[in-house]
Amino acid sequence: MGRASQGPPTIATVTSSQSPPGQSPTAQPPSAHRDLPLYGLDIETDTTADGLDPQVAPVLAVALVGEDFSAVFDGAETDLLADLNQHLADLRPGILVTWNGGCFDLPFLSERAAVCGVPLGLRLVHDPLIPGGNQSPQRLVGGYRARWHCHGHLDAYQVFRADVGASMGISCALKPLARLVGLDVVEVDRQRIHELSDDERSAYVVSDARLARALICRRAQPWAGVDQLPLSMGS
């Protein structure tokens, strides 16, 4: 697939403390997203150096999982980023579901795209009130609200952390929570992702994307946690 000419990744900052995290008087209400399809998204990065630092670690694979499909983008990093971006541009509008993606996956992809010179339709809004943001590649306090082309974003980790984690006193890490509700989990050594075969890495990244989607689908109102952005950021 060719690259979509969307311009460089955009990062804005939420500066008002008058609204709850992610809320904006000009944003669409969460219920506006109730009929949109959910797409799980997960990334794997190169662990030969520091897999958490986008300045040195390339993206090795990205998985996108819907109700009736799964896709893995890998190979040369510039190509996988461009192909992912084009695929999302062509995909039916929906909600990208990540697990801690507002603090890791999406800002990591944004920074790697900038390093590689690949334009993305990804728009990020920094929100210092998002908890757990110490994993953000930019090392900023908080995390990011996001939109990618016509797709909204929902960080399922933040949704579960706010109620299940708080009431049960658990960390809400993806694998333990998935096992708790009886979902099948693919386990690997997270420090040795670079040693996996292509097939092993693909199976792992697809599994994590599928788990994020499966967990949020168990919610009575899975769309309720969609990032709320100003409408001017949503185009």
Show the domain range for 223.
Answer: 10-18+30-227
Compute φ and ψ for 123, nearest 5 degrees.
-120, 125
Q: Is residue 4 part of a domain?
A: no
pLDDT for 190 equals 73
Q: Is residue 183 part of a domain?
A: yes
Q: Is residue 234 part of a domain?
A: no
Enter the pTM of the model. 0.83
- pLDDT mean by block of 10 residues, the chain; 235 residues: 36 37 50 86 89 87 97 97 98 97 95 96 91 56 90 94 83 90 87 86 96 95 82 41
Q: Is residue 1 part of a domain?
A: no
Q: Is residue 23 part of a domain?
A: no
Total tally of structural domains belonging to the chain: 1
Q: Is residue 3 part of a domain?
A: no
Q: Is residue 233 part of a domain?
A: no
Q: Is residue 5 part of a domain?
A: no
pLDDT tens readout for residues 17-56? 333 344 443 456 666 777 899 999 999 999 887 777 888 8
Supply the DSSP string of 5-63, one letter for each residue. ---S-EEEE---SSS-TT--TTSPPGGGGTTS-EEEEEEEE--SS-TT-TTT--EEEEE
What CATH number has the domain bearing residue 194?
3.30.420.10
